[in-house]
Each structure stands twice: as structure tokens, then as C-alpha cells.
Amino acid sequence: MITPHKYLNLDLSIMNISAFILQNFKQMPILSYNDIINSSINSFGDNVKEVIPYALSFLFMLDKIEYLGNELDAFQLKGDLIETQ
């Protein structure tokens, strides 16, 4: 899904959704999984549901976000990113 192909909708690409999620973290430092899904659906439509887990995994692999546990089911930007914004 990262590699573009002829039929890829660039609005629903992993890179675009990841950038959108990072922009949401500028408004709120901690976002629950449901907040991320709801804001993404409002902006991109129902087709974004299948891309969100890949985008979150991509951001986690890049060490940009961290998971705050099962009780909260939320994500937070890493500490060095919060200070530079």
C-alpha cells in the first residue's frame, strides 16, 4: 500500500493518512483510537477505515507515536516531537 500503483487513491494513501493523524496531534496531545477514526471518516469518508491501522503502524515503526495502554486505548506523540512543534 505504500508503493503507488495505477489505481491508488492518493487521498487514501498511508502517507496522506499518517500526515493527517500527525496534524490531529497538533490540536490534541492524546488521541483515542475512536477519535482518530471519527476525525478521519469525517475528512475522507468510510473507505479510510481500512487504511488507519496501517497508518498507525507506519507512525509507530517510525517512532513518531506511542501507545498508552489497553485501558485508555489512545496514542500520544513521542516527547521530542511535542517540544519542536
Domains in the chain: boundaries: 10-84
Predicted TM-score (pTM) above 0.95: no
Split at pLDDT 50, 70, 90, the class of 6 is confident
To 5 degrees, how large is the angle CA 21–CA 38–CA 67?
Answer: 50
Q: Pick one of 1.20.120.1760, 3.90.1170.10, 3.40.50.10330, 1.10.10.10 as the CATH number of 10-84.
A: 1.10.10.10
Cβ within 8 Å of residue 4, ≥6 positions away = 10, 13
DSSP bridge partners of 76: 30, 66
Which range, of 6-20, 24-38, 47-61, averages the lowest pLDDT? 6-20
pLDDT at 74 over 70: yes
pLDDT at 82 over 90: no
